[in-house]
Chain A
Amino acid sequence: MPDFTMPSLGADMERGTLTRWLVEPGDRVHKGDIVAVVETDKADIEVECFDDGVIDTLLVQPGANVPVGTPLARLTSPAAAPSAPPSTAKPKPPAAKPKPPAAKPKPPAAEPKRPVPAGHPEPERGKPAPAPRRPEPATPLVQRLAEERGIDLTSVNGTGHGGRIVRADIERATRPKASPLARRLATELGVDLHHVYGSGARGVIRADDVRAAARAPRRPAEPRPAADEKQAAMRRAIGRLMARSKREIPHYYLGTTIDMGEATGWLRRRNRELPVARRLLPAAMLLKASALAAREVPELNGHWLDEKFVPGDGVHLGIVTALRGGGLVTPTLRRADELSLDDLMSALKDLLVRARSGRLRGSELDGATITVTNLGDQGVESVTGVIFPPQVALLGFGRIVQRPWAVNGLLGVRPVVTATLAADHRATDGYTGARILEAVDRLLQHPEEL
């Protein structure tokens, strides 16, 4: 049975820090269960197990920084496991009774085991929960944040999906209570609300308190090494990967301008009938067209490994996602070519929200077969990308802009977008590269078929 090892969460990752175990010896795990939290240069990632088995020994303690591939835990196969695990603090439902091998004693993998934070009462204890809808437990990252700041999660109001406590709730619970005016004044005057005495009801900071604090001699600003260090680490990680790409990959570049009249017109008509939650963004169409085009030109969809091209086992789009604080992550939208536009849009929303709040899973950071970058939101018209090794191609889209455009010998104003391709010359030549842009163009002329 293979050990559970430090996974590679992206081609640029060399080491990772195990920050937390979510299992203990004796626990039975299934493929896909989240078993640990790993901190990389870029983000905190919930890491899944790749095998079914029973945790035998935890080999690495939380806080250890180890290279990719280091064994973290020893697994034994379910059959070979002792009938009763070594006694741990928590009594478990008896799994001891001999059963036919097909029987699964644990709940399905869809419900990964999550720890109950210290001091958090078991929701089931005592009488049954009053409401039929019980908020989902907070993620390990949020639990850790709460622990670090000494917050009792039971006292926090969850505003996430289904009442789940999200990072913003913790931030809100720890930030000083202040009136909106006081907050605005504090920003304008450069006053840190953490150092202001609140004279309002229940210690709420009022505008006058901020003004008084602004008149008082200024304390030296406290350094924030943690955030700066994190930012620096991310820049280094991006730098390493992009330098490797430019060093190893002989890039070639192609570009074309695509008439988006059909696509945006269709989208507009469709969105007009739908509630906001189900509306599509142009980005969803560009991604779907890219995925279908990558399927048509498999020479560009895959990896360059050991001096040869290995085609992808499906079209898995890497989506370049800018983080507001700076830096980027590239989560993977799996089998994007097989998703309907609606499903792709929902998957995209889910993925990007979690990417920005640092709640991606390990499997979502790996395995992309081609990357798409869409800088349309930033207002630029074209982007010539840098390939993410070991992939061999990257598609880029700029902003959709209104331009004079000739159709059937007549000049009109049409929405157009510039699509570009950066591709690896070791794997393909311009002739092949041109085919994928041509396919994207053709697909976008028939939006109803996407």
Chain B
Amino acid sequence: MTPRQARELAVRSLEKVAPDIDAGTVGGDASLREDLGLDSLDFLGFVEELSEGSGLRIDEDDYPELATLDACVTYLTHRA
């Protein structure tokens, strides 16, 4: 997966679980949990979308690597 595809997937996933956030304008280093206010259920939905969109199996142990959009891009580009 190219960084561009990865970012698109991450932004799309965020838009889906948090339609009230304009994902296109979110800074790459904003914390999804603290800055954007995703709760554990939102975050689970977000990981679900990432997993479906990339075909990756994402383990709970990997969640810390998905803390920001930039981190998601790094994670997805390395794995998928």
Contact = CB atoms under 8 A, between A and B. Distances in A.
Contacts of A175: 22
A167 B24 contact: no
Contacts, number: 58
A400 to B, nearest CB: 10
Contacts of B39: 322, 377
Contacts of A283: 40-41
A276 B44 contact: yes
B18 interface: yes
Contacts of A166: 19
Q: Which of B11, B16, B24 has the most CB of A within 10 A?
A: B24
B48 A187 contact: no
Contacts of B19: 166-168, 171, 357
A268 interface: yes
B20 A324 contact: yes
A184 B25 contact: yes
Contacts of A183: 22, 24-25
Interface string B14-47: 0110111110110100000100010111001101
A183 B24 CA distance: 7
A159 B19 CA distance: 11
B79 to A, nearest CB: 14
A283 B59 CA distance: 18
Sort chain A's interface into a size bin.
20 to 34
Interface in A312-363: 322, 324-325, 348-349, 352-353, 356-357
A306 B23 CA distance: 50
A376 B39 CA distance: 9
B74 interface: no
Nearest to A175: B22
B67 interface: no
Contact of B15 (A168, A322, A325, A357): A168
A168 B16 CA distance: 8
A275 B45 contact: no
Nearest to B16: A159
A322 B24 CA distance: 24
A277 B48 contact: yes
Q: Which of B11, B25, B37 has the most CB of A within 10 A?
A: B25
B41 A349 contact: yes
Nearest to A160: B16
A171 B18 CA distance: 12
A271 B61 CA distance: 11
A272 B57 CA distance: 10
A112 B5 CA distance: 40
B51 interface: yes
Contacts of B25: 180, 183-184, 186-187
A183 B22 CA distance: 9
Contacts of B60: 268, 271-272, 279
B51 A276 contact: yes
A243 interface: no
Nearest to B8: A180
Contacts of B16: 159, 168
A349 B22 CA distance: 22
B71 interface: no
A281 interface: yes
B51 A275 contact: yes
Interface in A114-148: none
A3 B8 CA distance: 52
Interface string A273-300: 0011101011100000000000000000
Given A166-B19, A171-B19, A184-B27, 8 more contacts: A159-B16, A175-B22, A180-B11, A272-B60, A276-B58, A324-B20, A356-B20, A377-B40
> Closest 10 A-B residue pairs measured CB to CB?
A168-B19, A377-B39, A276-B48, A183-B25, A183-B24, A187-B25, A276-B51, A180-B24, A276-B47, A324-B37
Interface of A: 159, 166-168, 171-172, 175, 178, 180, 183-184, 186-187, 268, 271-272, 275-277, 279, 281-283, 322, 324-325, 348-349, 352-353, 356-357, 376-377
29 contacts: A167-B19, A168-B15, A168-B16, A171-B19, A172-B15, A175-B22, A180-B25, A183-B25, A184-B24, A187-B25, A271-B60, A275-B51, A275-B57, A276-B44, A276-B47, A276-B48, A279-B44, A281-B40, A281-B41, A283-B41, A324-B37, A325-B20, A348-B41, A349-B41, A349-B45, A352-B41, A376-B40, A377-B33, A377-B40
